[in-house]
Amino acid sequence: MRDGFIPVAVATPPLRVANPAYNQEGIIRYMREAEKGGQVLLIFPELSLTGYTCGDLFLQSTLHKRGLKSLATIVEASQPLNLITVLGLPLIWEGALYNCAVAFKGGKILGVVPKSHLSSGPEYSEQRYFSQPPQGNGVIEILSQIVPFGTNLLFKSQRVENFTFAIEICNDLWTPNPPSIGHAQAGALIIANLSASSALIGKEEYRRTLVAGQSARLHSGYIYASAGSGESTGEAVYLAHNLIAENGEIIREELFTYEGLVSGEIDLNFLASERIRGGNFKGGNNANYQVVQFDHKVVEVALKRTYAKHPFIPKEGSGELEKALMIQSIGLLSRLRHIGTKKVILGLSGGLDSTLALIVAVEAFKRGSLPLSGIIGVTMPCFGTTSNSLRLAETLAQHFTIPLRKIDITQAVVQHFEDIGHPQELHDITYENSQARERTQVLMDIANQEGGIVLGTGDLSELALGWATYNGDLMSMYAVNASVPKTLVRHLIAYYAEGCGSSQLKETLQEVLAAPISPELLPHKGGKTTQKTEEVVGPYELHDFFLYHAIRRGSGPQKVARLAQETFKGEYSREEILKWLKLFYRRFFANQFKRSVLPEGPAIGTLSLSPRSGWKMASDASVATWLDELN
């Protein structure tokens, strides 16, 4: 349960309709299996002890007596377990019959939740047997225990922060106002749904969408257990569609024909962070709720869920890459129209970022039916510029049929060194930044000459690390790549290369992708760059992973390190990950002053470091607390 991960399970046991004595054995077996796997919360389907399709047998006292006897056996079996279990059965309360979920642990019943919205479809007839729940909570005596009874119950851990769950039953989710909305507003971060949903063509996908959507709107974990084909097939067939969702993502899913168990971990710390970030879950909404506390051992379990190495990269075939280019190009086109200009000035280096900016500019001009001659490329070789990067810049300009100006800034920088008294042989930060600032000055002045705007090329990863020169390449009139992380820059160029329709352009773009990432500010040797960015600041795939989990998901340093070690096992050692993660935090905190003056640019994803609409942070904030946690 370290780092807020709660191991949960969803089980559909073998079932015989109206035979609790048989059904109890499967329930107990799965309880023990879940306990052995380290799970702390286990959910069974709706009316799982008796079967959902008992029909008028629900009105027979014999079924109820046998159900209570089996429940007693199951609760007794839970005595030595560290597991909280929720199962379904019919219960009589104050002279009426209810479709209920019973939560229990360690031989004690925690509470009973009746179904709020009874199903009334053609294959269901719940209203024939069961009553609507009463208003407000009460108590029920069950197995000689007096326990809470009602729809507004919160089950809260005494040991683990944020571990609070609530229950709704099947059709409750399908209604216009599901009880889980109130549960979440009252503080539940996990919703358990005991269900018996029939199998119909198209219903599986709808059910999946419903579960994922509810977990998204509630910023919650959602555990859905469904009855299997042990139910009667007289009017409908039931397939065990078991789901575990988190904040809109289905993290585990299985469709069993008869029985099975699905387990996974829900990240409560992330969910709590999302609620705070969204600001839609305020305190004070639990006045009508009763909190039922439970105790349990806090056990360490292996993390079974996996995370994407490149979390900013959308799924292949999703259309999101095309959408990203569209957002960037439309943003630029709208800005040009607003300003009233048809020209952009772009520093073209032959590297990744300027290549993507060029692609965006071309797409914007095509969308707006503007002449491509309005995209003025400028290449500015100096001490470290290699012949290969210069060739790539020239070739790209030819492929896209844009004008390219070649302005050698060497003499201008040498003159500047003389003016400020800087030795040319001293290859320090002044040596490097003088070139970056000279290039920006050239671009800005050409923009004045042409009546255009300078297009910024810096990406999100560089901004996070502060890998940009203040009053140099940090400055522009519109920064089209400002919310595009480096890993996504690569994918966008590769995507464009595949669909560009020109084998020659595709080959050139592939050369851009194959070249080492470098600012080329130090003298080259033998025509090859001596300055490789990832050797200085670390691999960008790691930094993008850190950026996503530390900033977007709000994870602490230890958790980020843990996830990175699990995700990149065999590729980077623990020592390498910690080295680059410490550097990430140091640079992220130290360079906020650069992000505070960022030019405007289009946001394309859920993470932006813009000081206006994205990330707000004091430039003199201390990194000590974050490094202390890592150390």
Q: What share of the chain is helix, strand, coil (3-state, %, to 5)?
A: 40, 20, 40
The answer to whether residue 310 sits within a structural domain is no
Q: Token digits for 459?
A: 């990406």
Q: Are residues 271 and 361 in the same domain?
A: no
Question: Is residue 87 within 8 Å of residue 101, measured between CB atoms?
Answer: yes
What pTM value is reported for the model? 0.91
Return the bridge partners of 157, or none. Answer: 294
Q: Are residues 273 and 324 in the same domain?
A: no
Q: Would residue 115 show up in a list of annotated catalytic residues for this protein?
A: yes
The answer to whether residue 337 sits within a structural domain is yes
Which helix (DSSP H) or strand (DSSP E) does residue 399 occupy?
Answer: helix 387-399
Q: Which of 35, 46, 126, 432 is catalytic?
A: 46
Question: Is residue 162 within 8 Å of residue 189, measured between CB atoms?
Answer: yes
Q: Which of 35, 54, 168, 170 is catalytic?
A: 170
Helix extents (H) in 1-88: 20-36, 61-77
Q: Are residues 270 and 388 in the same domain?
A: no
pLDDT in tens, 124-156: 678 899 999 988 899 999 999 999 999 999 999
Return the bridge partners of 114, or none. Answer: 100
pLDDT in tens, 472-486: 999 999 999 999 999
The answer to whether residue 502 sits within a structural domain is yes
Question: Is residue 18 within 8 Å of residue 54, measured between CB atoms?
Answer: yes
Q: Are residues 255 and 349 in the same domain?
A: no
Q: Are residues 290 and 325 in the same domain?
A: no
- Cα 11 to Cα 197, 227, 530: the distances in Å are 15, 9, 58
Q: Would residue 170 show up in a list of annotated catalytic residues for this protein?
A: yes
Question: Is residue 259 within 8 Å of residue 124, measured between CB atoms?
Answer: no
The answer to whether residue 116 sits within a structural domain is yes
For residue 549, the 8-state DSSP code is I
Q: Are residues 284 and 431 in the same domain?
A: no
Q: Are residues 353 and 255 in the same domain?
A: no
**Cα-atom radius of gyration of the chain, to the nearest Å?**
30
What is the spatial distance between Cα 312 and Cα 484, in angstroms, rounded to a whole number? 9
Q: Are residues 328 and 430 in the same domain?
A: yes
The bridge status of strand 453-456 relative to strand 478-479 is parallel
What is the spatial distance between Cα 561 and Cα 487, in angstroms, rounded to a whole number? 19
Q: Are residues 262 and 344 in the same domain?
A: no
Helix extents (H) in 160-291: 179-186, 203-218, 268-278
Return the bridge partners of 253, or none. Answer: 243
Quick one: CA dihedral 102, 105, 111, 117, positive or negative? negative
The answer to whether residue 312 sits within a structural domain is no
What is the spatial distance between Cα 375 and Cα 370, in angstroms, rounded to a whole number? 10
Q: Are residues 279 and 325 in the same domain?
A: no
Weakly modelled stretches of the chain, pLDDT under 70: 121-124, 283-284
User: Residue 490's domain is classified under what CATH number?
Assistant: 3.40.50.620
The answer to whether residue 159 sits within a structural domain is yes
Question: Is residue 377 within 8 Å of residue 346, measured between CB atoms?
Answer: yes
Q: Are residues 285 and 421 in the same domain?
A: no
Write the DSSP string, 458-505. --HHHHHHT-S-TTTTT--SEETTTT--HHHHHHHHHHHHHHSS-HHH
Provide the pLDDT for residue 613: 87
Residue 354 exposure: Cα atoms within 13 Å on the Cβ side: 28
Number of domains into which the chain is organized: 2
Return the bridge partners of 250, or none. Answer: 245
Instruction: Count CB neighbours of 614 within 10 A.
Output: 18
- How many DSSP H helices and E strands does the chain contain? 20, 20
Question: Is residue 236 within 8 Å of residue 259, measured between CB atoms?
Answer: no
Instruction: Count CB neighbours of 363 within 10 A.
Output: 18
349: CB partners within 8 A, 6+ apart? 379, 389, 393, 520
Instruction: Count CB neighbours of 453 within 10 A.
Output: 22
Instruction: Count CB neighbours of 431 within 10 A.
Output: 20
The answer to whether residue 309 sits within a structural domain is no
Which helix (DSSP H) or strand (DSSP E) does residue 410 occupy?
Answer: helix 410-420
Q: How many residues does the chain have?
A: 631
Q: Are residues 228 and 367 in the same domain?
A: no
Provide the pLDDT for residue 121: 67
12 three-state secondary structure: strand
Domain that holds residue 16: 2-294
Quick one: CA dihedral 396, 399, 400, 402, positive or negative? positive
Nearest in space to 460 (alpha carbons), one of 358, 579, 604: 604
Q: Which of 105, 115, 343, 594 is catalytic?
A: 115
Question: Is residue 87 within 8 Å of residue 99, measured between CB atoms?
Answer: no
The answer to whether residue 314 sits within a structural domain is no
User: Residue 85's domain is classified under what CATH number?
Assistant: 3.60.110.10
Q: Token digits for 491?
A: 């994918």
Residue 164 exposure: Cα atoms within 13 Å on the Cβ side: 22
What is the spatial distance between Cα 167 and Cα 222, in angstroms, rounded to a whole number? 10
